[in-house]
Structure 1
Amino acid sequence: MKRSALAHTAATLLCVALLGGCGSDGPDDPLGVDEDALEEALRGAQSLDEQDAEPAGEDQPDGGEFKPIEFLLPETSVEPDGFHTIPAICDAEAQANEYRAWLAFAVPDDWEAAGRTGGSSSPLSEGTTVRFGTGSDRASVDLHGDTILPDGQISDGQGEVWTTFDYDYRVGDVTGTVVYEEFATVSLDGQLVTVLVAHHEQAPDLLKVDEYKARIRTANIYGRWLDGSVYPASMVVTIEPTKEAKKLDEAVVAGIIGSFSMPECARQLTVVEEELHQGRDVDGDGKVATTEDYMELRR
C-alpha cells in the first residue's frame, strides 16, 4: 500500500521536528529536541492509518532501486591502551549525568568529560562539543554533521561545494589565511581517514592551540533523492588540546579518531527517522517504523 499525500506530508513534518531541533547546554536536555515542534508533528503523524512496507531494494515508481541503509562505523569503539570510552548519549548503561554525543569515542585516561555544548536530535546531524578538564582551560572534541548537496557533494555551508578547511581571517589590522596540513592517516574499521592540523604559530593573533580536523563517513543512505542515488552521510571531527598543552601527539589524535563508533541504539534511531521521513522500509526488515517506535527509542 502506497502512502497517501497526507501521510507523506505528516512524515515530512515529523522529520523537520526530528532533524531540526538542537541546542543543549548540558545533560539535563541531552538530545536537544524541540518539544513543541515534535508534539505538533506527532499530532499530524499519529492520525495516519498503518501502512504496508515497501521492502528496501525493490524498484520504486520512479524507476530507481533503493538499497538498504549502510552503516560505515563499527558498533563498538576500539580503546587504545591508556584510553577510556565516552559512551553514546543513547547508551542505556551509561551514567545519566555524563557528557556525551551520538557517536561513542575514546580519549586518554586523564581526559575527564566536564561539559557539553550544542546537541542534536539525530545521530547523522550531530552538532556537539564535549569538553574535557577543569577550570577554563579545557581540551575538546567537536562533532559536526556535513550538509550534502543534491549531487552528493559536501556543502561549504553557503550552498557551494566544499573544497578546503583553509580560511581567511582578520583580527584588527592583521589579516591572513589559516592553512591545514596533512598530519596523519588513521584506519577506522577499514575506512582510511586523513587527519589535518592547523598549527597555531601561523596565526598567533587568532589560534591559541593547534587544531586537528578529520572527516569520517558515517552511513550511505538510499531513497532521500528520487533517483535512488546515495546520500553519503559524513561528519567532521575537530580536536583541540588545552591552551597549556597547545599540541597533541600523533598517537593521541590517531587514538581518538580511530575509536569512533555508532552503537546499535544510534543505528536504530537513524533507521526509524529515515523510515518516518521516506515512508518506506530502509533497512530490509519488511517494516516501516511508526511514531510509536520513535517515542519508544527516546524513552
Structure 2
Amino acid sequence: MLLFRRPSRRSLVFVVEPRFAESGTSVMRGQQLSEIAQSSGLSSRTISCAPVDPSIRRSDIFLTKGVMKTGDLDLWKRWRRQGNRLFLDPVDEGINDALIDAVDVVVAASMSAYDAYRTEFPRADIRLLNHHVDPRVAEALQRHSDKPLQTGIGYFGEPVNTVRTDRIADHVTFVPVSTARQDTGWLESIAAFDMHYAIRRPRALDHHKPFLKGFTAAACGANILIQRGQPEAARWLPPEYPFWVETDPDEAAILRAIEQAEASRGGPEWRAGLDAMRSIASRTSPAAIGSELEALFS
C-alpha cells in the first residue's frame, strides 16, 4: 500500500527589514522570490512578502539578509515557539554558529556557498536556492525587442566592485547600479550589449558571491568576460569557455582579452560561448528557480 504525504499548507512569508526594504537583496530575495513562488508548485499555499511581524504563526519564514543583519535572536526564538520554521538567507554575508543554531534551515544562494556551509556547519540543514535574474531584465528586453542587439561590452554594477581604467573604458560602457536602493535606470541599457564585463575587484567583505552577473548576461543572450579564480563562475562556465581572463588580471591582460573577444564576434568562439550561456539561462529561468523553491520548502 502506498502512503501519500499531504502537501504542506503552511503559509510562506518572505520577511524583509523595513530599514533595508529598498536594498537589492530585500527586493530580489524577498518580493521577487515571493512572486516566483506564487507561479510555482507552491501556489496552493498563502504566500506573501511582508515586514518583520512578531505575531507570525505556523508559517515558513524566509529571513532575508536585511533581517539577518538585525540579529534579533530573541524574536527568532519567539517565532519558533509559535510554530514557525525559519529559513535563513545570508546570500553573500558571513554567518556564525549563533545564527545557525537559531534557525531550522540555512539557504545557500550559490553552489560554492552550499559546499562551504556543509563543511563548516555539518549539523545544520543546508539547502540550495540559486540566485535568480531580476525579472525586470526580461521586461526591459521585451520593451526593446524591436531593436537589433548592438555590438558592445557593458558593465552593470557597483563601480567599486570592478576594474576600470581610462583605456578599458574606451571599450567598455560602465553603467552604475546601486544595490543599496532601487535604481532601475540601468535596465534601459541592458539590451544594448552582446557582451557583459564582469572583471571583479576582490574585497575583504566578499564571502560567497552568486554568479548573478553571469545569469543576467545569459538571460540577455550575451557572452561574458570574467577572470578565472571566481569560484562560482567556475561552477557554471566550462573550462574551455573562450572568454576567461587570467586570474587577477592587470590592465594589459584585460585589454588583450577584450581585443580577442571583439575579434571573435560572430565566429566559432563567439557561438561556443553563447552555447554555454544558453545552458546557464535555462538553469536559472523562473521555472528552474521555482522548482528549487519547491524543494526548499518541501
Which TM class, normalised by the smaller chain length?
Answer: under 0.3
TM-score (norm 1): 0.24
- Determine which structure has greater relative contact order: mean sequence separation of CA pairs < 8 Å that are 6+ residues apart, divided by chain length: 1
More strand by share: 1
